[in-house]
Amino acid sequence: MGAGHHHRLYRAGETLVHRLPPQCKLAAVAAFALVVVATPREWFWAFGVYAALLASVALVARIPPSFVLRRMVIEVPFVVFAVALPLIGFGERVTVLGISLSAEGLWSAWNILAKATLGVVASVLLAATTEPRLMLLGAQRLRLPSLLVQIAMFMLRYMDVVVDEMRRMRVARESRGFVARDVRHIPVIARSAGTMFIRSYERGERVHLAMLSRGYTGSMPVIQDLSASSRQWLVAGMLPGAALVALLGALLVNGGPA
């Protein structure tokens, strides 16, 4: 895993955020997400502060808004679900633009959209400023299960290989005149998927045997120094720290949990 492995989510840069060790950024994003989730849905201005904090991080990291917005498409299922809640919810009804909506459904939709959006933006910024390989090494530094981290590393390393294999199989089918148009072609696609699974499994066995022959003992060597200084931890902690201050401030202003 020594070579760099760039991904479309990653945006190369030399900013302060990019230079932070990956374990610092992972811990900061996780702590920030916990603060966001713990915030009562009625405290609107607290969510505004969280959004401003993420905007500040994006500004420091020089990540343009268009880059973030394009990668927030993953949130679409949450948006669809949230939009449906006011329509199918029970309880007190309110009229908005001539449409009868559930008041509790509106609150639930806002709660899901606000927290999911903040979480997705934080994740996008993390991925945009951290190479995938370094992110996994950072997870290893945080003492996540080594086996899971290594599985993710191999998945990252060979994902492009598998995708390229699928592309070659598709080209081979089309060169023989096959084009999937309706459900009658599902058996052919299913057989291709089975073949892809067998090829991937066999490739994995060959890679594992090759690693064992080169002295693999269950852990991958780390040739890059990922140690973090106290200052770097402090810088990374500014995001969740500021969010926690905003949450505590809202708690004092509102006199307790909503």
Domain positions in the chain:
16-138+228-254, 147-213
Report the pLDDT value the prediction gives residue 158, as an integer from 0 to 100: 82
Average pLDDT for residues 228-237, to the nearest whole number? 93
Cβ–Cβ under 8 Å, residues 40 and 258: yes
Report the pLDDT value the prediction gives residue 91, as an integer from 0 to 100: 67
Report the pLDDT value the prediction gives residue 5, as an integer from 0 to 100: 46
Report the pLDDT value the prediction gives residue 4, as an integer from 0 to 100: 44
Cβ–Cβ under 8 Å, residues 134 and 33: no
Average pLDDT for residues 189-202, to the nearest whole number? 88
pLDDT > 70 fraction of the chain, expressed in percent and rounded: 93
Report the pLDDT value the prediction gives residue 184, as an integer from 0 to 100: 82
Q: Which of 18-22, 101-105, 121-125 is predicted least confidently?
A: 101-105
Q: Which of 148-152, 212-216, 248-252 is predicted least confidently?
A: 148-152
- Rounded to an integer, what is the distance from CA 214 to the centroid of its chain? 34
Chain segment 125-170, per-residue pLDDT in tens:
999 999 888 888 888 888 888 888 888 888 877 887 888 888 888 8
The residue that leads in pLDDT, 61 or 217, is 61
Report the pLDDT value the prediction gives residue 7, as an integer from 0 to 100: 59
The residue with tokens 């057989």 is 191
d(CA 173, CA 175): 5
Chain segment 91-107, per-residue pLDDT in tens:
677 777 777 778 788 88
Report the pLDDT value the prediction gives residue 223, as an integer from 0 to 100: 67
Backbone phi, psi, residue 220, to 5°: -90, 140
The residue that leads in pLDDT, 63 or 218, is 63
Report the pLDDT value the prediction gives residue 58, as an integer from 0 to 100: 96
d(CA 135, CA 25): 9
Calculate the average pLDDT of the chain: 86
- Is 1 a residue whose pLDDT tops 60? no
Report the pLDDT value the prediction gives residue 3, as an integer from 0 to 100: 43
The residue that leads in pLDDT, 51 or 84, is 51
Ramachandran class of 219: left when φ > 0, alpha when ψ lies in -120 to 50, beta otherwise = beta
Cβ–Cβ under 8 Å, residues 139 and 21: no
Report the pLDDT value the prediction gives residue 16, as an integer from 0 to 100: 93
- Taking the CA atoms of 218, 224, 228 and 229 in sequence, report the sign of the dihedral they define: positive
Output the 3-class SS for the chain: CCCCCCCCCCCCCCCHHHHCCHHHHHHHHHHHHHHHHHCCCCCHHHHHHHHHHHHHHHHHHCCCHHHHHHHHHHHHHHHHHHHHHHHHCCCCEEEECCEEEEHHHHHHHHHHHHHHHHHHHHHHHHHHHCCHHHHHHHHHHCCCCHHHHHHHHHHHHHHHHHHHHHHHHHHHHHHCCCCCCCHHHHHHHHHHHHHHHHHHHHHHHHHHHHHHHCCCCCCCCCCCCCCCCHHHHHHHCHHHHHHHHHHHHHHHHHCCCC
Average pLDDT for residues 104-121, to the nearest whole number? 90
